[in-house]
Structure 1
């Protein structure tokens, strides 16, 4: 497992000015709980894709087997608006905590390319846990619908998203401030 270099960790803490805290990892890794901690720690504005999708589109979600064809364009529209909102917050001097998926390398690469003047303001936090632990967390979250619940994650969607997860590689870690959050440091 990768760890943040001491240089990257020092740079992440020492940076002055607004920051983008990007939280990434597979479904059930503890991202929402960790993101809430970052929001409090940095007095940041939380921007969570699942919350936007649940609020804007859950009532219209079709009961078809091809839900991904419905989901993807709505996700892209939400991400565009979330980024506009994030830029507005950053331009006023505030931090943002983004929990917006980006589970595949090409998605994160596109995000980094889009950041323009904010490229040096990002800290990427990577959370992960064994699949069986994550599966149990998601089943519990679906049943309890507690504080970090946005929408039910069906088992087939959990498996699909888990199969798509690509952790940052050596190149991404070398080019960005990436902090690997140990499992013990966050909740579910």
Structure 2
């Protein structure tokens, strides 16, 4: 039976590198929200006022389409690795309800690292624009997203197959 692998964690925790590795290990298609956002909306002008609302509306549209593609892939027997944000518990709860409704198997991988290390990684990624780069992460967005991060609590871990793992150290 095909399986879903959800990779979560704050910005700069090593999710993209880990998701690539996971994709190879499980012969899975990797779907990454940042890549979709960058490709579809990266060249668009962002509003000065209402920037967060602008982002959330587009993020939600991408997540809907990613979920439709995920269902098609799983239904034809393909494992899927999802790196789609879900940094808050309420977002994950909505996702879990969709997974449960479809009867899919799911493993959640949690990556984290100290905030200072994550910021160093983000700055380096912004400068180098290497294979895990999809869009520039400015300091205000790093801070906003870092402050919004809610790691899985005891209840979430009890209800799901949640695995805490280490990203790369540097």
| Same fold at TM > 0.5 | yes
C-alpha distance in 1 between matches for 2:131 and 2:20: 10
- Displacement of 1:85 in angstroms is 0.3
Please, what TM-score do these two structures have when normalized by structure 1? 0.87
In structure 2, what is the equivalent of residue 34 of structure 1? 18
Q: Per-residue CA shift, 1:4-60, capped at 9, x if unaligned? A: xxxxxxxxxxxxx10000000000000000000011111100100000000001111
C-alpha distance in 1 between matches for 2:40 and 2:72: 21
Stretches of structure 1 that go unaligned for 5 or more consecutive residues are 1-16
- Displacement of 1:66 in angstroms is 3.3
- Greater share of helix residues, 1 or 2? 1
C-alpha distance in 2 between matches for 1:187 and 1:81: 33
- Displacement of 1:120 in angstroms is 4.9
- Displacement of 1:61 in angstroms is 3.5
C-alpha distance in 2 between matches for 1:65 and 1:43: 43
Q: 1:85 aligns with which of 46, 58, 69?
A: 69
Describe how 1:12-161 pairs up with structure 2 within 5 A. 17-62=1-46, 64=48, 66-161=50-145
Please, what TM-score do these two structures have when normalized by structure 2? 0.96
SS at match of 1:178: strand
Judge conservation of contact 2:110–2:164 (CA < 8 Å) in 1: yes
- Aligned residue pair count: 170
C-alpha distance in 2 between matches for 1:28 and 1:170: 24
- What is the RMSD computed on CA atoms of the aligned residues? 1.3
Stretches of structure 2 that go unaligned for 5 or more consecutive residues are none
In structure 2, what is the equivalent of residue 14 of structure 1? none
Q: Per-residue CA shift, 1:119-172, capped at 9, x if unaligned? A: 550000000000000000000000000000000000000000000000000000
Moved over 3 A (4+): 116-120
